[in-house]
């Protein structure tokens, strides 16, 4: 594995502290649970618990890790998922 450069570390720090512009992202872009938490204002653990209850945005697994398609997050934030209201 190659060593991290200062640019990599800076990019990583920026990525973890900036809020993604969900309006500018393509529908099929994937977000992490932490990004969805920052966008929604809900805690990461809340999203995790809700996922176990079948609530929140639809999860897409990438290499076993939860990811969320922007289209699904937009629908969830708008209050509907798959045509039903999400009573979060």
pLDDT tens-place string over residues 17-45: 678 888 899 999 999 999 999 999 999 99
CA-to-CA separations, 80 to 37, 38, 56, in angstroms, rounded: 17, 19, 10
Choice between 44 and 7, residue whose per-residue pLDDT is larger: 44
Q: What domains are defined for the chain?
A: 26-81 (1.10.1660.10)
5 membership: H or E segment, kind and range: none
* 75 pLDDT more than 60: yes
Element (H, E) at 80: strand 80-81
């Amino acid at each position: 594995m190659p060593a991290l450069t200062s640019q990599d570390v800076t990019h990583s720090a920026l990525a973890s502290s900036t809020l993604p512009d969900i309006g500018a992202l393509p529908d099929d872009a994937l977000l992490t649970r932490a990004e969805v938490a920052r966008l929604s204002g809900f805690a990461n653990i809340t999203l995790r618990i809700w996922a176990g209850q079948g609530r929140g945005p639809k999860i897409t697994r990438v290499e076993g890790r939860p990811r969320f398609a922007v289209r699904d997050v937009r629908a969830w934030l708008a209050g509907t998922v798959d045509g039903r209201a999400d009573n979060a």
